[in-house]
Structure 1
Amino acid sequence: MQEGSMKSEIIPHDACVLVADGKKALLLRNIGTAYQLMLEVEQVIEASANPLSHEQGTDRPGRTWSGGHRSSVDETDFHSLEEQRFSTIVAERLETICAEGAIGKLVIAAAPKSLANLRHAMSENLSKRIIAEYDKDLVNLPIDEIQRHLLSER
Structure 2
Amino acid sequence: MKCPHQALVALVDGERFLLMRNVGQIFEPKLEKVAEPELDPTNFSAGVDHQDKISQRHGRTDLNELAHGAAATEWLNNQAKTGKIDQIMIIADPKTLGEMRRHYHKELESRICGEIAKELATEPTATIEKSIASA
Matched length: 121
Task: Please tell me whether residue 133 in structure 1 is matched to residue 122 in structure 2.
Answer: no
Identity %: 29
Partner of 2:75 in structure 1? 93
Q: 2:14 aligns with which of 3, 14, 22?
A: 22
Q: Shift in Å at residue 42 of structure 1?
A: 1.2
User: How large is the RMSD of aligned CA atoms in angstroms?
Assistant: 2.5
- Note the C-alpha offset of 1:26: 1.2
- CA 1:74 to 1:97, structure 2 compared with 1: closer, same or farther past 3 Å? same
Give structure 1 stretches of 5+ with no counterpart.
1-8, 49-72
Q: Deviations over 1:110-152 (max 9, x none)?
A: 1000000111122121112112111110011111211011112
Q: Deviations over 1:67-102 (max 9, x none)?
A: xxxxxx94995x622122111211121123224423
**Counterparts of residues 1-154 of structure 1 (less than 5 Å):** 9-45=1-37, 74=53, 77=56, 80-153=62-135
Segments of 4+ moved more than 6 angstroms: none
Structure-2-length-normalised TM-score: 0.77
> What are the ranges of 5 or more consecutive residues in structure 2 without an aligned counterpart?
41-51
| TM-score (structure 1 length as normaliser) | 0.68
Pair 139,21 (structure 1): closer, same or farther in 2 beyond 3 Å: same
Provide the C-alpha distance between the structure 1 equivalents of 2:101 and 2:71, rounded to a whole number of angstroms: 13
